[in-house]
Amino acid sequence: MTDLLNGTISSTLAPEVRQQLEQAPTDYRELVEWVTEIAELTEPAAIYWADGSQEEYDRLAGELVEAGTFIKLSDHEFPNSYAAFSDPDDVARVEERTFICSETEAGAGPTNNWRDPVEMKQTMTDLYRGCMRGRTLFVIPFVMGSLDATEPKYGVEITDSAYVVCSMRIMATIGSDVLKKMSETEAFFVKALHSVGAPLEEGQQDVAWPCNPEKYIVHFPETREIWSFGSGYGGNALLGKKCYALRIASALGHDNGWMAEHMLILKVTNPEGKSKFFSAAFPSACGKTNFAMMEPTIDGWKAEMVGDDIAWISFDAEGKPRVVNPEAGMFGVAPGTGWSTNPNAMRAISGGNTIFTNVALTDDGSVWWEGKTDEVPEHLIDWQGNDWTPDSVRPAAHPNSRFCTPIEQVEMLAPEFSEPDGVPLSAMIFGGRRKTTIPLVSEAQSWEQGVFRGVTLSSETTAAAKGAVGVVRRDPMAMLPFIGYNASDYFRHWLDLGEKHGEENMPGIYYVNWFRRTEDGGFAWPGFGENSRVVKWIFNRLEGKADGQETLFGVVPTAEDLDLTGLEISDEEIEAALAVKVDEFETELAGIDEWLAKFGDDLPARIREQRDDMAARIEAA
Ligand code: PEP
Ligand code: NA
Ligand code: MN
């Protein structure tokens, strides 16, 4: 199609590859030049532009079956689905190998790993040199959010992994339509480079899951580039997700007046048919996916999902917030997702078209993971290929095993999911896992107080992550691993948006804790679908139709203010769930002070004032 590279393509490339570059399905010069530059560096055996079609997906999946990367599952439970098994050293996001390479160290501080961008590019260029030998370089044009958005958010991922191409087709809108519109408008796109870092020499036998022990997940926030090397797993490799839609997008949002947040999006409709949209941020292992797909237990209330992981929030001409889910799929943790805990997720996965990674195989050609069914199979092949029986000590599925499923298969998906410019946002909910201190629900009394709640958001560690269990960790806005620039600037951005658009336009901020314990150690609140009672209180507060009590921790409902109809809960339990105790908040304040010290003088004064306000409230209580 294009002759714009005539005479400029390096002669070191194989003639077929040169020809494939000359026949690129676009004449967007900046894109073709970038692909050429990467091809010259990485020396692939072939170049392939993904068109995003079903035929292409089926063909690549077939090739992955041939290569031993995919196992085609029997169609009886999960039609048109595959299981993949990763290298045992490539099973999760690698935060210690994740870098924000801003021009200055302060630009990434103090919560991110930083390296000088020039040095990092040198190091990684050496790693990328010849790294695609014997492999195909895939070009994936993609858009996060709708292609019909007022300003579509484009990216192009170059990868040498067909598993990544198939997964990206589920997680984003990819292919020819995207390439066409992006090229016609010569639109800005995020350059996202990925290699598993495992070149194949002449005659070398490939492995099922190629990767490299040396891993780098690198972001250049000023130039909006992503360079990933060595891992083929999840957020390390599907670069539209955490790397673009959170880290790079948070930097884009900072510079352009919007927000990229680690939040689910929920549509809630009351019995009168009135709807509101909420977003919610929870650190990992706090039931975010379950909340995104909840089934209300109270009569007449309806919940529908808009998103399960990421929310982009912008402001319309009147300064009113609107929210979109930039993703087209779910990349959910399998263990703990089951017919009894999250039937909506199970129904979505049962629609098929799913890629499972690191779950266990059943004897009838399907898959299983801990928590999928209450009944445990007699025999499985575990995620590492070993025989497994209920006596086995190790889990059958890796604790971070995943399902990757198209979001349209979620039956309770809100139709507004596909609104190109999103839906109005009424409230943001922060939540964490805390045995003590934090009440079931509280309402921030101002935007600034709400931002302070986010800055100091905390959760107790669970067995899901390595390290001690039950330790209180701060995770600001549940964004600790995803803030793509300086965290104090990120807090300031939140505060500034409130000043710019005015308190009356900003969403209400609520803080929930489903995990409070009673004196005897049991959960004070039943959680799951019963959380709809808390959602109802939030909804009605926004309507001016629910009461609460002013406490040192904002407005908290009394038992009478909550709809507890039909709920079996003792007075002691509900009291424990809603309690605001001065001594617990004295301890909390000490923990907050320790956390805020990390930001030094850089911490916005408005956050310091909120801290002092909290101290004064504790003093006065
Ligand atoms: C990921 O690793 O891509 C991912 C989705 O991570 P998390 O579940 O922690 O959000
Ligand atoms: Na898609
Ligand atoms: Mn997430």
Verify whether ligand 1 is closer than 6 Å to residue 176 (CB atom).
no
**Closest ligand 1 atom number to CA of residue 93:** 2
- Dihedral angle, C-alpha 145, 307, 423, 484, nearest 10 °: -60
Angstrom distances, CA of residue 79 to CA of 56, 73, 366, 405: 17, 7, 10, 12
Q: Would you say residue 72 lies in a domain?
A: no
pLDDT of residue 1: 43
Of 409, 442, 463, which marks where a domain is finished?
409
Would residue 88 count as lying in a domain?
no
Q: Are residues 296 and 242 in the same domain?
A: no
Same domain? 319 vs 369: no
Q: What is the pLDDT of residue 12?
A: 76
Strands 153-159 vs 136-144: parallel, antiparallel or unpaired: antiparallel
Which pLDDT tens digit goes with each residue over 569-615?
999 999 999 999 999 999 999 999 999 999 999 999 999 999 999 99
Instruction: Identify whether 3 is part of a domain.
Output: no
- Asked whether 331 lines ligand 1 (CB < 6 A), one says yes
Q: Which atom of ligand 1 is nearest to the CA of 92?
A: 2
Task: Give me the percent of the chain exceeding a pLDDT of 90.
Answer: 96
pLDDT for residue 467: 76
Ligand in nearest proximity to the CA of 242? 1
- pLDDT tens track for 2-23: 455 555 566 678 899 999 999 9
Q: Measured from the CA of 331, which atom of ligand 1 is nearest?
A: 5
Give, in order, the Cα–Cα distances in Å from 52 to each of 114, 140, 151, 171, 207: 35, 8, 21, 12, 26
Q: How far is the CA of 494 from the centre of ligand 3 (A)?
A: 20
Look up residue 513 and give its two tokens.
């804790």
Give residue 292's domain range: 260-327+417-580
Ligand 1 atom with the smallest distance to the CA of 234 is: 3
What separation in Å is there between the alpha carbon of 406 and the centre of ligand 2?
Answer: 7
Q: Report residue 287 as tokens.
A: 């039931």
pLDDT at 542 over 90: yes
Residue 115 lies in a domain: yes
Residue written as tokens 């609460």?
548
Provide the ipTM. Answer: 0.93
**Domain end: 409, 434, 457, which one?**
409
Q: How far is the CA of 228 from the centre of ligand 2 (A)?
A: 22
Cα–ligand 1 centroid distance for 184 (angstroms): 33
Give yes or no for a contact between 580 and 437, defined as CB atoms under 8 angstroms apart. no
Cα–Cα distance measured from residue 167 to residue 61, given in angstroms and rounded to the nearest whole number: 10
Residue pair 466/548 in contact by the 8 Å Cβ criterion: no
Closest Cα to residue 238, out of 314, 323, 127, 328? 328
241 lines ligand 1 (CB under 6 A): yes
Report the CATH number that the domain containing residue 374 is assigned in CATH.
Answer: 2.170.8.10
Last residue of a domain, one of 409, 437, 460: 409
Same domain, 333 and 319: no
Is residue 246 domain-shared with residue 349, that is, in the same domain? no
Q: What is the pLDDT of residue 462?
A: 80
Residues comprising the binding site for GTP? Answer: 285-290, 402, 433, 528-531
Numbered residues of the known binding site for Mn(2+): 242, 262, 309
Q: Among 94, 171, 226, 331, which residue has the most ligand 1 atoms within 8 Å of its CB, making it the best to mutate?
A: 331
Q: State mean pLDDT over 99-108.
A: 98
Among the bound ligands, name the one nearest to the CA of residue 358.
1
φ/ψ (deg, to 5) at 564 = -110, 15
105 and 212 share a domain? yes
Q: 32 C-alpha vs ligand 3 centroid, how far in Å?
A: 32
Output the CA 361–ligand 2 centroid distance in Å. 26
- Tell me, yes or no, whether 209 and 316 share the same domain: no
Tokens coding 350: 């049962």
For ligand 1, whether the C-beta of 277 sits within 6 Å is no
Say yes or no: CB of residue 242 within 6 Å of ligand 1.
yes
Query: Which residue owns the Cα nearest ligand 1 atom 1?
Result: 235
If you measure from the C-alpha of residue 330 to the centroid of ligand 2, how many angstroms do you get, rounded to a whole number? Answer: 11
Q: Any idea which ligand is nearest the CA of 285?
A: 1
Q: What is the mean pLDDT of residues 350-358?
A: 98
Q: Tell me, yes or no, whether 356 and 241 share the same domain.
A: no
224 and 114 housed in the same domain: yes
Confirm if 422 and 314 have CB atoms less than 8 A apart.
Answer: yes
Take atom 9 of ligand 1 and give the residue whose Cα is closest: 284
Q: Is 375 within a domain?
A: yes
541 in the same domain as 394: no
In this predicted structure, what is the pLDDT of residue 223? Answer: 98
Cα–Cα distance measured from residue 169 to residue 159, given in angstroms and rounded to the nearest whole number? 13
In short, whether 480's Cβ falls inside 6 Å of ligand 1 is no
Q: Is the pLDDT of residue 342 over 90?
A: yes
- Residue 441: which CATH number? 3.90.228.20
Best mutation site among 98, 167, 170, 241 for ligand 1 pocket (most ligand atoms within 8 Å of CB): 241
Q: Is 234 in the pocket of ligand 1 (CB under 6 A)?
A: yes
Q: 613 in a domain, yes or no?
A: no
**pLDDT for position 416:** 98
CA distance 590 to 456: 12
Q: Which carries the bigger pLDDT value, residue 6 or residue 144?
A: 144
Count up the domains in the chain and report the number: 3
Best mutation site among 86, 217, 309 for ligand 1 pocket (most ligand atoms within 8 Å of CB): 309
Q: Which residue type does 585 have?
A: F
CA distance 372 to 350: 12
pLDDT for residue 8? 59
Residue whose structure tokens are 């504790």:
618
3-state secondary structure 112-175: CECCCHHHHHHHHHHHHCCCCCCCEEEEEEEEECCCCCCCCEEEEEEECCHHHHHHHHHHCEEC
319 and 393 inside one domain: no
Q: For residue 2, what pLDDT is reported?
A: 47
Q: Examine the domain organization and report whether 204 and 252 are in the same domain.
A: yes
Ligand closest to the CA atom of residue 174: 2
Query: What's the rounded Cα separation, in Å, for the pair 429 and 19?
Result: 53
Probe residue for ligand 1, chosen from 242, 261, 288 as the CB with the greatest number of ligand atoms within 8 Å: 242
User: Same domain for 58 and 180?
Assistant: yes
78 alpha carbon – ligand 2 mean position (Å):
19
Judge whether 203 and 179 are in contact, CB under 8 Å.
Answer: no
The CATH number given to whatever domain includes residue 46 is 3.40.449.10
* pLDDT at position 34 over 80: yes
Annotated binding site: 93, 233-235, 242, 262, 284-290, 309, 400-402, 433, 528-531
Mapping DSSP to helix (H, G, I), strand (E, B) and coil, where does residue 72 land? strand
What confidence score (pLDDT) does residue 11 get? 62
439 lines ligand 1 (CB under 6 A): no
* Residue 235 CA, closest ligand 1 atom number: 3
**Average pLDDT of span 527-551:** 98
In-domain check, residue 87: no
List the catalytic residues.
286
Q: What are the C-alpha distances in Å from 232 to residues 91, 99, 123, 125, 488?
A: 9, 17, 20, 18, 32
